[in-house]
Amino acid sequence: MANKEKKGIVKEFKEFISKGNVMDLAVGMIIGAAFTAIVNSVVNDLVMPLISIVVGKVNFSDLKWVIKAAEGEAEEVALCYGNFIQAVINFLVIALVIFLVVKGINSFRRKKEEEEEEKPAEEPKPSDELLMLTEIRDLLKKD
């Protein structure tokens, strides 16, 4: 009985993996990973230099609050809030780009739906049976 359950689980797993949704998710993850490099470049090479004009620093990763300085072999204890600021900026840029992409897609869909609504609906063509019955009716009327 346990062997049948294992075969059933393996079969279900194969079906799960072969479905399009899982493949779509995998492709999305790969594209997302590639997109991360682009976003990091936008943040580090375009956004941060503009922020550095106001703040005076290009890289926030070095910002920290030292709680206890290093003594001898003991390392310093510090809160590295600069990495957090950098992550927040990355998140905001990603969120903005995704918002703009979704907004563009929705706008495109709305235009397409409006174009489809503007087209006059064509009358459906009568089926072959209906045409034949109409001919029979017309022939009977003549007699």
Contacts made by residues 84-88, CB under 8 angstroms, sequence distance 24+? 85/60, 86/43, 86/59, 86/60, 86/61
pLDDT tens-place string over residues 53-66: 887 766 777 888 88
Q: Which of 4-8, 31-35, 39-43, 48-52 shows the highest mean pLDDT? A: 31-35
Q: What is the pLDDT of residue 103?
A: 92
Statement: residue 1 has pLDDT above 60: no
Question: Where do the structural domains in the chain lie, given as residue ranges?
Answer: 1-58, 60-143
Question: pTM of the predicted model, to two decimals?
Answer: 0.51
Statement: residue 85 has pLDDT above 70: yes
Statement: residue 44 has pLDDT above 70: yes
